[in-house]
Structure 1
Amino acid sequence: MLVKLNKIRMSSIRRIAIITAFFLSIGISATNTYAHTPHDMVLAFAASPNYASDKTMFLVTDGAYTGWRYDEILRSTDGGLNWVNIPNGMNHPYEYSVLRVSPKFSTDQTVFAGLKGKGGIYRSTSRGDSWESYNTGLAASNLIVRKMEVAESSTGYVLFFTDANGALFRRSNTNANWVQVLDKTNKVTVIAISPDYATDNTLVIANNTGDLRKSTNGGNDWAELGNPTGGTIIHDMAIAPGGAEIFLATPPGIFYSSDGGSTFINKGNNLPNEAINNIAVSPNYAIDRTVFCTSLRQSVFKSTDKGDNWALFNSGAKVTLQTTLLNEMSDLQISRTYATDKTIFLPVFDGLFISRNGGTTWLQRQTRMGLMTGLALSTSFNSDQDMIATTYVGRGIAISANGGTTWSTSGWPNPTGRKMNFFDSQVVKNPNGSQTVVSATNSYIGSSNDFGGTWTVKFVPRFLAIDPDLVTFTTLRASPNFTNDKEIYLGSRFHGVLHTKDFGKTWRLQRGVPLDHPVTSIAVSPNYINDRTAFVATRAGQVWRTEDGGDTFLRVGASSIVSIGWVGQSYSWVAVSPQFATDNLVIVGTNNGIYRSTDGGTTWTKETHASVGSNAVVQQVEFSPNFDTDRNIFVNVRGKGLFRANLNGAGAVTASQNITLSLLENENIQFTEFQISPTYAVDSTIVGAARKNIYKSTNGGLTWAVAGFPDN
């Protein structure tokens, strides 16, 4: 129930994003920080070499909807009008660094994804419909991919990549293993492949101080080309068709060679006095002499005389000031069919920009829709079919009275009619059988006793000693006795856990929970009125417990719950057994599998049953509301689907079934969040949210049907 925002990426930009979201949430017009809302940053991009005919593109963007906390790969086959998520097989917790498409894509359907974390390279031979690890021959120390380029060969493709240490590797479609071409002492940072590689086998590499080397036999032998930039780093390189002309994008500008790299000159009239960070050469260069580049702050410059003179054709891409300047205009690519379609791609932090007329005019493609951030079902779902959903840049809170088929906007005050941002909701069953809905947006919480028709709204003040910004929430859990005790625990991005015992009249920060990583999940004991126990999970892979109603939080499982990868990518989820009063069972889902505790969270054991996967990247885990009878939990695993697992008396998995495998394999559908009907014992209903629809099963996950979407 967290719109995923990487803490590392956000550390320098959170104030802008939070304030923007705040004004949107309460309906006040604010300066538009992004070209699109929600912001659709592009972190990696690749287009089909046959773009003129197939209009196919792939990109990586920030986790797009309800429950995703990790970057996702999207595919468009209509020039960017529509995008689908392609998660099948992407069972890792890492960020992406690069995407590349095989030059023979029309026949081999092959796409490559390089990872920043120790995931190496994934390959798809089905246009991204399924993925597999492509790391045979690589050591663990070689699995962070910095740069990757693919060349066309007479038999298919040759792939080159450089790892975080600066070593260079090569693998062709006929090779069973990766081969190290250069070791890490070479400090390779940039790779340029000749457009004529199939016949000339030429590539050029640069190291971290600007030294160039060239190979004309696929990397077997190398010739030194010196250091034309005088010791500065090279941001990008391009080899023109024919192989003799080479362009370098550097901090001092553009360097050009007309003799295969033997000599270079600095050239480029009308370029700004700042670093050039991207350069791309027309595939039709022999005829049109056209080159494109970007600077740190401006895009796109075009030259039709081999880079001698340049003109700026404004792409519309903005410098967001929300990442480093080098990451603002991070890529520039030209369609391989440029002679026909005149298409240029500018994937940047501000979004995806495309020109179809050689750079003269540009358009921006929206890649992300309004985001679902939470789902909740009525405690009497079998009889009333009531559902509530929270959205980011949408209705805010949407209500359905027919199981998700149609939706209406809730009665949350919105005097200006703006799209609103909400982050979570919960439906609490009161002792008298009535229901209370609790929901949260930036700096506001609300409760409704008529399932969202009317609301009582409370402002959450700033905590200036902690952070000057408004409090931005990620998730919430109310006490099961909320109608009497008015207690709510709220997780946030930068304020840790907040707790109120009087529905927002007063607040306290739970200082035991660190503030430096977003809270991703909260679980409150169903016996809270007696045991005063609640659990908090964070994006650092940590679990915290209170046994005194929030007076103190102590970390549990510090040495036994082991996440992998970067701390900011160690998303975790916590769930408490409905029979917690007697079984003391707690389940934690991590990016390194499932952990269970049978003593209320004091000691932990890792689940090793192979059915779900001992190292599964778990997005969400929930207990069946009928757990005392069916002993089932539900586990959403990244890249694999939603599993229904059976537990024995000790809480260990004995068997499981992937109940969404057909959706994943046939329709590229992986749930971004799911909810189990509170009346599951009667109706067997599970509801799952995906990119465009909500899916519903009324037979425990055996079959699924589309049930609408809140912002349609």
Structure 2
Amino acid sequence: MGIIRRSTPIATLAIAILAGSAAAHHPHDPIDAFALNPLYPEIPLMLLASDGSYNVMLRSSDHARTWQEARQGLVGRAATAFSFAPDWPDTPYIYAITGIGGLQVSWNGGRSWSVPFEDHAKLQFLEVASEPVRGRSVFYAGQDTLFAADPVLPGEEIVHVVGTVDDTGSINAMAISPRFGEDETIVLATNDGSLLISENAGDDWTTIAMGWTAAVLAVSPGFPTDRTIWVGTTGRGILRSTDAGQTFTAVNGGLTDLFVTDIAVAPTYPAPADLWVTTRDEGVLHSSNGGDSWAVLGLSVKKTNQTDIHYRRVHISPSWPSDQTLYCASFEGLYASFDGGVNWKQANINPTRMGRFLSISPDFAADGKVFGTGYGMQVLESNDGGDSWSVEFTDYEAISTYSLAVSPTFADDQLVLAGVGNGIRRSLDGGLTWQGVVLAPHDTTAYYNSIRSIVYSSTFASDQTVYASANGGIYRSTDAGVSWVSYPPPIVRAWKMVISPDFANDSTLFVAGPGANDGVMRSVDGGASFTAPSGDVASVTTLAIDPDFATTHRLWIASSSIGVKVSTDRGESWAPLGVGFEGTSPVRLIPAKQFSSNSTMVATTQSNGIWESTDAGVSWNRLDPDSSPVTHASSLAISPDYPDVPILFAGTFEGIFRSVDRGATWVKTTHEEVYDDRRDEPIIPGGVWSRTLQPGCINLGMAESTRIGSSLILPFDGDGVSVIGSTGPDHGTLRIFLEGTELPAFDAYSATNELQRTLAEISGLDPGFHWLRVEVAADKNPLSTGHRIGIDAFNVTYP
């Protein structure tokens, strides 16, 4: 096989409280990649990627209790696999692969990433061998080729092509022997039902016709002597070979779901002979006898209707069996068990502080208003240019916000529109209170009609026209969002939309989506019909239109896969722009309001910071320094008078940041997050609770209990917490515990019913992980007629 040379740039005990017990996907957080370091739990570092509604790549150093963003420099939208060097941290390499960026390497514990070679993109599999053999230890594969690299010498990389698959098949699964240094064994499975085995590090291969397609593979840590391989299939369960793949036997005793998604083997197998699998629907199963029989462990997630593959991966502590930690990566989140699978808790990888969307008042210079949304926290509002923020979502009645737009005539109408699942939330008092408007999908086959984009007509002051787009349709209102008509969706995921600044004359709007088949669609009749003006512009993550579109006919699109492209003929054709941040997930392009005179645009990426162009997108310069806190910003807002008033806001995993010097420096401006009673995770209920709808509550409802001893636990990352709830003539006493220590109780009795009262407030904690427990007490005020406790929300503060 060929050799290619490249120049390359240079335990503690886990507290068994994470977030909620097995809960629904509110918010939605499918796990695409996860890895534990080889010294876990002594060093509790782990990495995780979730490309759900909010795309994150995270690292945790405290057993999944708190998380930090870890995607700086990553090329490609999302990581699909991680692997640590086997002697990490002595050899400090951590590897990742992405769909378009190929192999990526981190030398600093996953905080930032670089690409060692420019080719080998579109990878699917990654595994690092226990020790190198003839310069081969890092194995990664695409559809038809297996590569191996030796990372030991940081000045030079040697890449080997160690396996290829002919045109009749493609690689479906890969496994490297845990004792590769001894047996040099690599196993590949292809989608035509073949198994390819090499026992000399890829120099030669034996093909075995299995007759079925393998989804996952595992090789025994005792392979030099026991010759055992396990194959997981999507319909025949688990197959085991004890003769290096020559013959296989089904080992499905106790396995009722035969769609297998992962196999994990105890690191000291066969002593003990422990195996684990995940199956599509049944969960995590354990075998103590090499697969002869299986038992379901105690994890049961509340399943979304967005997939039929719920349990994706199972990960075992490298120190098993002395450390009984298991992690399950599911479509509904990350779950951890610290007792061998008996009890499970969900990690909070989507804190509500995340700056998901931003919208700035057109009169920002006068009113200082900025609006933002978190993930599972509805609307934040600042009235002083971002110096301080308040949480405003009384009667909001939605768990997540998918779009946010301030009226062009906000000074007069105080109108803010927010897109949620199956509708719009509408505020006429600057976000203080909200009314709901249901938008039924025009396409009744759309399974989830979240409103992803809201845009106002440039002549909104006179025509009151506003558009919204979703999976299920395009919506138009001519009365400022009170009523709507729907049109068929032109693409499957109509998530991005812009409207012509000359809409009153040309009735033109554009819609684009992130899917490979979505493309850009144009309507010239106000959304009633759409056409595809050109091809090769799929997977669009951001769409922008020239404020002088009537003259220039110019608009821009961008994504990590296509880079940035411009059209100067109303979308008929597109040309690439060499902007320097290809592959780093651009998620927002914003032309300055005075674009016609200054040609200025600002863009944000999810792994390479904030960029500015002063020549209409032809060339770009990065504004923030390499190590800035907004390297991974997912939302952006700029001053209406930018760049004369050089203020920018960026939303990140850690909160909302502001720059007042054109992006040179950034300061975090948000320091509180709200966990509403509607959010499943991270709140852990105990006893009997019911949710009651009451106008005037945060998000229109609260959790109530009259059962003595019923409790709620909130694990949180911060330096303070308060409990928001109700008081009334039938209310009892609330017991309060922090880290298990009981604090003074709160008497929730009052002569009249009152909402949004502070029932407990704790401040001055050391920043980091804490847990709060509140409980319905047996004692009560003698004037009270009952023991009712109402919990509306928890408010967490953080530095």
Asked whether the two chains share a fold, i.e. TM above 0.5, the reply is: yes
Alignment of structure 1 residues 204-283 onto 2, 5 Å: 204-208=187-191, 211-223=194-206, 231=212, 233=214, 235-241=216-222, 243-245=224-226, 246-250=228-232, 251-258=235-242, 260-261=244-245, 264-267=248-251, 269-272=253-256, 274-283=258-267
State the distance in 2 between where 1:52 and 1:384 align.
51
State the distance in 1 between where 2:449 and 2:294 align.
47
Indicate which of 253, 259, 276 corresponds to 1:292: 276
SS of aligned partner of 1:498? strand
Using a 3 Å threshold, how does the CA distance of structure 1 residues 190 and 374 change in structure 2: closer, same or farther? closer
| Aligned residues of 1:541 and 1:572 also touching (Cα < 8 A) | no
SS of aligned partner of 1:522? strand
Using a 3 Å threshold, how does the CA distance of structure 1 residues 626 and 107 change in structure 2: closer, same or farther? farther
Question: What is the CA distance between 1:509 and its match in structure 2?
Answer: 3.5
For structure 2, the 5+ residue unaligned runs are 1-20, 675-799
Alignment partner, residue 121 of structure 1: 103
Structure 2 counterpart of 1:684, one-letter code: P
Alignment partner, residue 479 of structure 1: 457
Question: What is the CA distance between 1:340 and its match in structure 2?
Answer: 3.7
State the distance in 2 between where 1:583 and 1:210 align.
55
Using a 3 Å threshold, how does the CA distance of structure 1 residues 237 and 612 change in structure 2: closer, same or farther? closer
Alignment partner, residue 752 of structure 2: none
Alignment of structure 1 residues 476-625 onto 2, 5 Å: 476-495=454-473, 497-504=474-481, 507-511=484-488, 514-525=490-501, 527-529=502-504, 532-539=507-514, 540=517, 542-546=519-523, 549-550=526-527, 553-556=530-533, 558-559=534-535, 562-563=536-537, 567=538, 569-577=539-547, 579-580=548-549, 584-591=553-560, 592-598=562-568, 601=570, 606=575, 608-609=577-578, 611-613=579-581, 617-625=585-593
Alignment partner, residue 367 of structure 1: 349
Segment drifting more, 77-86 vs 367-376 = 367-376
| Aligned residues of 1:389 and 1:710 also touching (Cα < 8 A) | no
| Aligned residues of 1:215 and 1:222 also touching (Cα < 8 A) | yes
Show CA shifts across 1:164-208 (max 9, x none): 23x433222257343222221375433332222223323333444
Alignment of structure 1 residues 268-347 onto 2, 5 Å: 269-272=253-256, 274-317=258-301, 320=304, 322-324=306-308, 327-347=309-329
SS of aligned partner of 1:243? helix
Indicate which of 193, 196, 199 corresponds to 2:179: 196
Using a 3 Å threshold, how does the CA distance of structure 1 residues 678 and 434 change in structure 2: closer, same or farther? farther
State the distance in 2 between where 1:469 and 1:276 align.
26
Alignment partner, residue 437 of structure 1: 416
State the distance in 2 between where 1:318 and 1:445 align.
26
Using a 3 Å threshold, how does the CA distance of structure 1 residues 81 and 454 change in structure 2: closer, same or farther? closer
Show CA shifts across 1:36-81 (max 9, x none): 410221112211111122211112212453xxxxx54222121111
Alignment partner, residue 451 of structure 1: 430
SS of aligned partner of 1:420? coil
Instruction: Tell which has more relative contact order, 1 or 2 (C-alpha 8 A, sep 6+).
Output: 1
Show CA shifts across 1:400-427 (max 9, x none): 223334433436534xxx6533322222
Q: Does 1:353 align with 2:339?
A: no
State the distance in 2 between where 1:515 and 1:259 align.
51
State the distance in 1 between where 2:357 and 2:341 align.
41
Q: Does 1:644 align with 2:612?
A: yes
SS of aligned partner of 2:90? helix
State the distance in 1 between where 2:256 and 2:421 align.
40
Q: Does 1:671 align with 2:633?
A: yes
SS of aligned partner of 2:376? strand
Structure 2 counterpart of 1:90, one-letter code: L
Question: What is the CA distance between 1:474 and its match in structure 2?
Answer: 0.5
State the distance in 1 between where 2:583 and 2:264 align.
41
Alignment partner, residue 699 of structure 1: 661
SS of aligned partner of 2:658? strand
| Aligned residues of 2:136 and 2:201 also touching (Cα < 8 A) | no
Segment drifting more, 80-89 vs 250-259 = 250-259
Q: Does 1:184 align with 2:162?
A: no
Segment drifting more, 43-52 vs 465-474 = 465-474
Show CA shifts across 1:601-631 (max 9, x none): 266563544x545777532111122434433
State the distance in 2 between where 1:534 and 1:621 align.
17
Using a 3 Å threshold, how does the CA distance of structure 1 residues 616 and 604 change in structure 2: closer, same or farther? farther
Question: What is the CA distance between 1:377 and its match in structure 2?
Answer: 1.5
SS of aligned partner of 1:178? strand
Show CA shifts across 1:74-103 (max 9, x none): 22121111222222222334x544322221
State the distance in 2 between where 1:549 and 1:233 align.
49
| Aligned residues of 1:276 and 1:295 also touching (Cα < 8 A) | yes
Indicate which of 43, 53, 59 corresponds to 1:54: 43
State the distance in 1 between where 2:387 and 2:104 align.
37
Using a 3 Å threshold, how does the CA distance of structure 1 residues 199 and 405 change in structure 2: closer, same or farther? farther
| Aligned residues of 1:400 and 1:407 also touching (Cα < 8 A) | yes
Structure 2 counterpart of 1:314, one-letter code: G
| Aligned residues of 1:379 and 1:679 also touching (Cα < 8 A) | no
Using a 3 Å threshold, how does the CA distance of structure 1 residues 454 and 83 change in structure 2: closer, same or farther? closer
State the distance in 2 between where 1:597 and 1:64 align.
28
TM-score, normalised with respect to structure 2: 0.72
Q: Does 1:106 align with 2:106?
A: no
State the distance in 2 between where 1:432 and 1:383 align.
9
For structure 1, the 5+ residue unaligned runs are 1-31, 66-70
State the distance in 1 between where 2:327 and 2:448 align.
37
| Aligned residues of 1:290 and 1:304 also touching (Cα < 8 A) | yes
Alignment partner, residue 687 of structure 1: 649
State the distance in 1 between where 2:467 and 2:360 align.
19
Question: What is the CA distance between 1:523 and its match in structure 2?
Answer: 3.6
| Aligned residues of 1:405 and 1:709 also touching (Cα < 8 A) | no
Q: Does 1:632 align with 2:600?
A: yes
State the distance in 2 between where 1:136 and 1:584 align.
35
Alignment partner, residue 5 of structure 1: none
| Aligned residues of 1:194 and 1:243 also touching (Cα < 8 A) | no
SS of aligned partner of 1:105? coil
TM-score, normalised with respect to structure 1: 0.80
